[in-house]
Amino acid sequence: MNHLSERLIPLVRYLADERAHTGGWMPDIHINDATLAAMTPQDLWTLFRAFVNTREPIEPDSAWLADQDALLHDIIADRGITSIDDTAVIASAADPRVRLWRGDITAIRADTIVNAANSEMLGCWAPGHLCIDNAIHTYAGVELRLECARIMREQGTPEPTGRAKITPGYNLPAAHVIHTVGPIAAGHPSDQDRELLASSYRSCLDIAAVRGLHSIVFCCISTGVFGFPQQEAAEIAVSTVRTWLDRHDAEANQTVSTVVFDVFGQEDDRIYRHLLGIPERAS
């Protein structure tokens, strides 16, 4: 049996047994030892992700948690970790404080990355959905949802749009995660949506500065299922970040020195390269 399968099977078995008692999403298969043993490592990983993406924020068994942490640590290391210094290769010549990186935000080592959250702040909850919220919660581990749930219990209300909260990064290479709720534009942003999107970027930078963080990696806030047009969202992001940096650079306690815009798709890469004055990739 593949070594990854050997590690995943007890983790998935625990999650399936837990779900049988707590209720919630279950796959359309009968999960037993024989079923799990016949699954490929990729199928087991997909099932593991689906369970943790839909798991209530309850404390797991400490031994299970240790095994999860060890597995995620090894998977992330095997995929490869991008240092914040590696992003200097595509820093803007006009503004070296601002950089572009195309890749997986869960694989970058920085002081903090930014998660595009929803107002409940507990992740996406769709089993296996390939959104950034699910990805960050998956690779951080179930501890992240536990911490977000604690924050939301103390707050007592949904997270307002344009605001942000910070948590540890847990198993991620990034030390922290800043969660922000961008506006839902549905393809037609209003002036209020534009201001709220700018507020999300400012709120993240404000928290990073208060915590004394030096590097922050932004995802493309609100451009996914929230429907903010990519071009306009990028223009707001770059303008807001540069204005914030200009305003705070002279402050004695200003620590934020490196801002990375992380993109995943080709169109966002093209848009940000144009806005930052970075040459197109050679074809």
Is pLDDT of 1 > 70?
no
**Are residues 152 and 162 in contact, defined by beta-carbon separation less than 8 angstroms?**
no
Q: Mind listing the pLDDT tens digit for each residue in 197-252?
A: 999 999 999 999 999 999 999 999 999 889 999 999 999 999 999 999 999 887 76
Is pLDDT of 91 > 70?
yes
Q: Mind listing the pLDDT tens digit for each residue in 245-263?
A: 999 887 767 889 999 999 9
Q: What is the pLDDT of residue 250?
A: 74
Mean pLDDT of the chain, nearest integer: 94
Burial of 65 (0-12, 13-18, 19+ CB in 10 A): middle
Report the sign of the C-alpha dihedral through residues 19, 22, 26, 31, in that order: positive
Is pLDDT of 283 > 60?
no
CA 230 – CA 185 distance, rounded (Å): 11
Query: Which amino acid is it at 211?
Result: R
CA 52 – CA 144 distance, rounded (Å): 11
Q: Mind listing the pLDDT tens digit for each residue in 96-112?
A: 899 999 999 999 999 99
Residue spans in the chain of domains classed CATH 3.40.220.10: 82-276
Q: Which residue has the tokens 């209720």?
A: 23
Is this prediction's pTM over 0.85? yes
Superfamily of domain 82-276: Leucine Aminopeptidase, subunit E, domain 1 (3.40.220.10)
CA 96 – CA 219 distance, rounded (Å): 19
- Among residues 142, 149, 167, the alpha carbon closest in space to that of 68 is found at 142
CA 139 – CA 76 distance, rounded (Å): 8
Of 1 and 40, the structure prediction assigns the larger pLDDT to: 40
Is pLDDT of 10 > 60?
yes
